[in-house]
Amino acid sequence: MNFDQPLQVVDLFAGPGGLGEGFSSLNEGKSFEVLVSAEMDPFARSTLRLRAFYRALKKNNRAALDDYYYFCETAGVEHPWTSRSLKEWEIADKEARQIKLGSPEGNAELDRILEERLDTTKPWVLIGGPPCQAYSIVGRARNKGNLEYKAEEDHRHFLYREYLRIIQSKKPAVFVMENVKGILSSKVGGEQIFPQILKDLADPDLALGGFAESENRYRICSLVTDDVYESGDDPLKLDLNNFVIRAENYGVPQSRHRVILVGVSERYLKGLHEHKLKPSKGPTVEQMIGTLPPLRSTLSRGQDSADAWCSQVIRHLDELRSDLISSGKKDPKLEMKLKIFRDSFSGGRLNNGGLRVRKSNSWSGRVDIPDLDSWLSDERLGVWLNHEARGHMTSDLRRYVYAAVFGDAHLTSPKGHQEFTLAGLAPDHKNWETGKFSDRFRVQLKGQVASTITSHISKDGHYFIHYDPNQCRSLTVREAARIQTFPDNYFFLGNRTQQYHQVGNAVPPLLAGKIAKIVESIIRSA
């Protein structure tokens, strides 16, 4: 089956657009075109719309791309469009929609849009990730402490059915659904919910009260094994972990483990040959962020200045080394590194960045992996976007600089109460010594892939400490976005907390692009 036009894409629960970016970027936009992306959060929707604007300009009006770059590079600009790019902005506004799926109003709006814009006589693709809070390990731990919480009454468990509803009514050729690994073990009414999700997705008509003999069925494919689930199979006989993608094995610089399901309509089974991702090693944290402009954090309490911040960090380095020696603990590597970083400390020369940081020749941002540099970099963009360091309390500066030096000395992040034993390192947590907070402060090691970037980064930076003691801070939005493989010209809107939240919730676009390639092959080979 051959097609001259890009395949249609509908993106539900889109977040800031990680999945959509991967699909729409394949073959410079010639393979897929996002018709509509639906997202409830207004700030994520703003980011989605701005990215849709960029894509529309690249496709239809390259002469007006300067409008996008001017908006990215210039503070105080009210909106990104001018009279010459208004048409593309209107296209973007129609594509990226703020819709609350699961509500009567939201569902009705989406149905109306799909009726107007989606051509179901042609093959199309549904992508998206229904909200994961109800399935995540952290979310379930919080719910466990709520005596009034009942999983069967939590509507978030069943938002996948809004996704299912569109599959049933509009019959995509292929769908891609992403969620957290915790969905595999999540239970409702004492029963695992994931086997039921597989059954429902394989036969959406039956799941939503239709006929058992429906022709609208799907094969649910693993992207890492040959496993394919089809209607009538017993899902409990499958190794459900085979639906988990370990992103670091496929070129992504973080150990992000997510469930990703690819459903192929039985009408397109002729194209279902190879559905596995090709393994590739993910780059290290240092490769991804080591050539971005270095920044210092700020003091979140009291008067901040470079000198005041610098004196605090140096004091912590001196005291930590002195405490280590007096404690009698034999750790010559750590002692030596504390002295080296104290004697060579240069963080006081740095600034704390900003929403826009002017580029210079000193910090190229290059990864030195040609394909990845091509994906990330934009020579036309004159600033680093979303690259602003957080402020930290001086007690956290002590923990951050310790974790960074420890990581440099031992090539591992220090573990909670077992290794945060020097004076002033233990936080005021009631259960600190139980082991529940062993990763409360985690440095991202420069020679390894990062740990999972999650939405928790919006709350504090304790799990995401920069490896460089001279910077003594948590990751910026741009650094987190890089580890998520967002291109450098992807501008996250909203305040900084909202930006972090968007990045943490996203699907890595680079991984999405690799999935898109498989999906395209399935459809066009059918």
- Per-residue pLDDT, averaged over 63-74, amounts to 98
Q: How confident is the model at residue 522 (pLDDT cuts 50, 70, 90)?
A: very high
* DSSP letter assigned to residue 461: S
Q: What is the mean pLDDT of residues 352-367?
A: 96
Lowest-pLDDT choice from 11-15, 129-133, 272-276, 379-383: 129-133
Tens digits of residue pLDDT in 462-491: 999 999 999 999 999 999 999 999 999 999
pLDDT at site 96: 98
What is the mean predicted confidence (pLDDT) over 299-309? Answer: 90
Question: Both tokens of residue 300?
Answer: 């979140």
Domains of the chain from N-terminus onward? 7-283+507-525 (3.40.50.150), 285-505 (no CATH)
Confidence tier at 212 by pLDDT (50, 70, 90)? low
pLDDT at 141 (0 to 100): 41
Instruction: Check whether 99 has a pLDDT greater than 90.
Output: yes
Looking at residues 382-393, what average pLDDT do you find? 97
Rounded distance between C-alpha atoms, residue 432 and residue 435, angstroms: 7
Query: Given pLDDT bands bounded at 50, 70 and 90, which one contains residue 145?
Result: very low
Phi–psi pair at 297, nearest 5 degrees: -75, 180
Helix (H) or strand (E) holding 97: strand 96-98
Q: Can you give the pTM of this predicted structure?
A: 0.93
- The mean per-residue pLDDT over the stretch 319-344 comes to 95
- Model confidence at 440, pLDDT cuts 50, 70, 90, reads confident
What is the rounded distance in angstroms from the CA atom of residue 485 to the CA atom of residue 453?
A: 11
Report the C-alpha gap between 115 and 426 in whole angstroms.
Answer: 58
- DSSP label at residue 132: -
Whether residue 174 contacts residue 519, with contact meaning beta carbons closer than 8 Å, is answered with: yes
**Band of residue 274 on the pLDDT scale cut at 50, 70, 90:** confident
Mean pLDDT, rounded, for 329-350: 93
Distances (CA, A) of 84 to 89, 298, 364: 10, 41, 32
Residue 258 amino acid letter: R
pLDDT in tens, 495-510: 999 999 999 999 999 9
Give the confidence band of 213 by pLDDT, cuts at 50, 70, 90.
low
Confidence grade of residue 431 (pLDDT, cut at 50, 70, 90): confident
User: Which pLDDT score is estimated for 317?
Assistant: 97
pLDDT classification of 460: cutoffs 50, 70, 90: confident
Alpha helices in 344-450 (DSSP H): 370-376, 394-410, 416-419
Query: Rounded to an integer, what distance in angstroms lies between the CA atom of residue 36 and that of residue 52?
Result: 10
Residue 2's pLDDT is 53
Stretch (H or E) spanning 384: strand 383-388
Predicted confidence (pLDDT) at residue 452 exceeds the cutoff of 50: yes
Name the residue among 246, 276, 220 with its Cα closest to residue 521. Answer: 276
Alpha helices in 328-378 (DSSP H): 332-343, 370-376
pLDDT above 50: residue 181 = yes
In the chain, count H helices and then E strands: 18, 15
Residue 439 banded pLDDT, cuts 50, 70, 90: confident
> What mean pLDDT is reported for the chain?
91
pLDDT for 122 beyond 90: yes
The beta strand positions in 150-241, using DSSP E, are 174-180, 187-188, 191-192, 218-221, 228-229
Distance (Å, rounded) from C-alpha 493 to C-alpha 502? Answer: 9
DSSP helix, strand, coil percent of the chain (3-state; round to 5): 45, 15, 40
CA 349 to the chain's CA centroid: 32
